[in-house]
Structure 1
């Protein structure tokens, strides 16, 4: 019976594989990934699956990737990790040790990338991932992990810079963050930025990931009359936070979230209650971001929306850039040898729909975050490296005054 159960489990795992495009041939370059297709964070995980498949199809339609003197097509082998970190690690191990994929793409979320990158390092197979931004991922001096998200420790950097220029100037801040690798890194980086800006942190609270009840925290925010609330968490947590803020009539002058705001799903879920929310993004579909395969970021966004029925955000753009980085590195290396491709990735410097792809010595890209805000039915860029882009809607009015 044990053997039967093991075979059944293996069959279930095999069924979790989704092949992009046509089945891989012996000549295809196979990219492997484990992504959250089901479970609590599947809504964001699908951005990566869709972006990987979409970009691979685009590159293949243009003739594929040149390896030495021949052109070869890309293929994708992807598992559903069911939002389970331990399963994800096992699947990446299977991808490199049994499936013998050539190179790796990443999962979504820093705690996944932190664990899964240990597999790529152990087997010396390069992984380019745009789902994990925690500084912990890149502090271990690993050689085979590369990331296209900006450091989590500076996610609120542009937001804090903006706070200093608002009128009336905020004075007090509540900092809330989930207890996972990404959000802890965000908080650790944000505290010194707030102190340097002369802002008083009146609440500094770590909460359990996937928390659904924020009533006590919101009551504290009201009692101390915090001007600004900064929340580092997951999208479902942010949705619950905003809904409960409305029910408790908690309305600080400004609140900003690390996730959610750039997402069309977030804005649809909250409707008019998403208005005034601030967030940040390292990517906007700007036609000035030229791209070898898609033309530019605006063309990428339009084609992506036409295919999948929803607007891409920075998760999708970074996922597309991950595939492009591997394709470019293969061509630069003229080889599929993992060590040669790894060295080529480290030397990349090319324009893409996501921005310039060039990795720092630790393997991470540091792209500036643009502050964005939901203003009515629009997502408006507000503040960037050169100051205000558009006027923010600030202070946020009371809920009954909207």
Structure 2
């Protein structure tokens, strides 16, 4: 009987060991965010909601996030900031002080990330965001903000490199930018790059965010006969700019925009008028970008389109990368304790569908921008770090000659 009891006791002990080594599911890890689901920038803001949901669903379907020997699912607590910065700040404060979320994901747009990151810093809860690229966000020596967009000051760098290779060579540039944090950073970084390239800045003009009337600026561009027009702004502003450029028959040799061109919605909104437009992107759905959860970027793009009905651009890819970075940091830390996750985020270095996720000391990722162009009904990568990928359609013809 003693031997029988001993064997039974041993079996129970072995079972206990086996159970302790097998991951078990515990309560959800709640990620909090406030994004623009309504208001002037909701068209891009929704990319982040979709990206967050899509990534969380994929990670949960694969078993969730391993925290030590425990498997935990991710959940999202999300508010609509209605494209209002002040409301966004209040919502992030509510997320951490009342809703008691574990960690934070970011909003869209630099002016929002600039304000909202002050909440994460105050409460010492990490925020990973892929919607704000302004250099201002990362120049304050904050410890709890991490960003997956390249620095705004470098957005036009690859475009300016390309300008030096074009024939006929452009000589003068009109630089237009909105008065928000992102676009101001773009302009600050672009000026010295243009000067170094030997290009004359014929117009350097700042306009109000959400501007709808570009007639005066377009008339100036026409009067100085600028070869190239570089515009830093948000999608609705750029849609207005292109439509009014056509109505006033303003057609420089080329124009390039910080946003819009990578977006399927932008190209659908303009139709044939989007042709010849240049832009840039730090991400394309390349099968070489391997990913732990989605396989690769091409598989991700196909699955995303099937679920949401539109092609993902770099906004969506960076939003997914935000969630993946949080998940990987939790696993590396073996904890959801904010300080431990923050320290793990700072040390991340892993491949993803968005590229290598490795934050610099200031908390930002610096990925090179590929120059893209709308050519007919296709979006084409035309210029990268090693030169031309495909011959760009340049110079742009007059509107009545298309």
TM-score, structure 1 normalization? 0.94
Q: Distance in 2 between matches of 1:265 and 1:311?
A: 9
Unaligned runs of 5+ in 1: 1-24
In structure 1, the partner of 2:11 is none
Aligned to 1:250: 250
Cα separation, 2, equivalents of 1:186 and 1:288: 29
What is the distance in 1 between the residues matched to 2:213 and 2:99? Answer: 42
Are residues 1:77 and 2:77 paired? Answer: yes
Residues 65, 26 of structure 1: alpha-carbon distance in 2 compared, 3 angstrom cutoff = closer
| Structure 1 CA distance for aligned equivalents of residues 326 and 210 of structure 2 | 33
Whether the 8 Å CA contact 2:26–2:70 is kept in 1: the answer is no
* CA–CA distance in structure 1, aligned partners of residues 237 and 88 of structure 2: 23
Separation of aligned partners in 2, 1:234 and 1:70: 43
- For residues 162-215 of structure 1, the C-alpha deviation after alignment (integer angstroms, 9 at most, x for no partner) is 000001100000000000000000000000000000000000000000000001
Name the residue aligned to 1:261: 261
Distance in 2, matches of 1:247 and 1:151, equals: 34
Larger radius of gyration: 2
Give the Å deviation of 1:140.
Answer: 0.1
1:93 CA displacement: 0.3
Alpha-carbon distance in 2 for matches of 1:189, 1:286: 28
Matched residue, 2:10: none
Per-residue CA deviation, residues 245-293 of structure 1 (Å, 9 max, x unaligned), is 0000000000000000000000000000000000000000000000000
Partner of 1:172: 172
Q: CA RMSD in A?
A: 0.7
Mark the runs of 5 or more structure 2 residues left unpaired by the alignment.
1-24
SS in 1 for 2:356: strand
Instruction: Describe the superposition over 1:309-345 as per-residue Cα deviations: whole angstroms up to 9, x where unpaired.
Output: 0000000000000000000000000001100000000
SS in 2 for 1:27: strand
- In the other structure, the counterpart of 1:5 is none
Matches of 1:393 and 1:299, distance apart in 2 = 30
Contact 2:133 2:150 in 1 (8 A): yes
Q: Mapping of 1:288-307 within 5 angstroms?
A: 288-307=288-307
Aligned residues: 378
CA shift for structure 1 position 26: 7.3
Q: Which residue of 2 aligns with 1:58?
A: 58
Counterpart CA distance in 2 for 1:65 and 1:244 is 49
**Aligned counterparts of 1:334 and 1:208: Cα–Cα separation in 2:** 46
Q: Could you tell me which residue of structure 2 aligns to residue 156 of structure 1?
A: 156
- TM-score w.r.t. length of structure 2: 0.94
CA separation in 2, counterparts of 1:79 and 1:210?
Answer: 22
Q: Give the corresponding residue for 1:11.
A: none
Aligned residue number for residue 186 of structure 1? 186
The whole-number CA distance in structure 2 between the counterparts of 1:89 and 1:387 is 42
